[in-house]
Amino acid sequence: MERTLIIVKPDAMQRGLAGEVIKRFEQRGLKIIGMKLLQISRDLAERHYAVHRERPFFGGLVDYITSAPVVVIALEGTDAVSAARMTIGATKPSAAAAGTIRGDYGLEIGRNLVHGSDSAENGEVEVANFFADSELCSAWPRSVDGWVFE
């Protein structure tokens, strides 16, 4: 099973969309194996967005993600990264398809509601950055798993 990290970003939290965002992933069939509400520290934000450190928007991105509490979610499932990214929609909300989170609720790239890991490798790294192994509950069986996973 693949893992991915989802962050319900400050704009989604301020707009009261956390439940809707979480619901989309659950309805897709992805399994929540970890979830918590937290205020991301500047240090953690800089580590999380380190790939963008040299870009001009890095400082604003760190300021934004640390501006309000977020919900971080570790998801697991078959092709979890691509399934989650399809559920989220294109990075630029105006280019995101209707029916995706960003397509339905977003307008601007700087307020695009949700983060999702971009690869299985990054999913593992990102989940480990936000969750200790003891905070993940992967082994619990759901009654619907036989109807979601082959």
pLDDT digits (tens, 9 = 90+) for 61-102: 999 999 999 999 999 999 999 999 999 999 999 999 999 999
Let me know if 52 is a catalytic residue. no
pLDDT digits (tens, 9 = 90+) for 13-58: 999 999 999 999 999 999 999 999 999 999 999 999 998 999 999 9
Catalytic residue among 9, 24, 102, 115: 115
Give the CA distances from residue 100 to residues 43, 85, 95, 131, in Å, rounded to whole numbers and listed in that order: 31, 9, 11, 26
Encoding tokens for residue 33? 């194996």
Residue 34 pLDDT:
98
**pTM of the predicted model as reported, rounded to 2 decimal places:** 0.95
| Ordered alpha helix ranges (H), 29-100 | 42-48, 58-65, 80-88
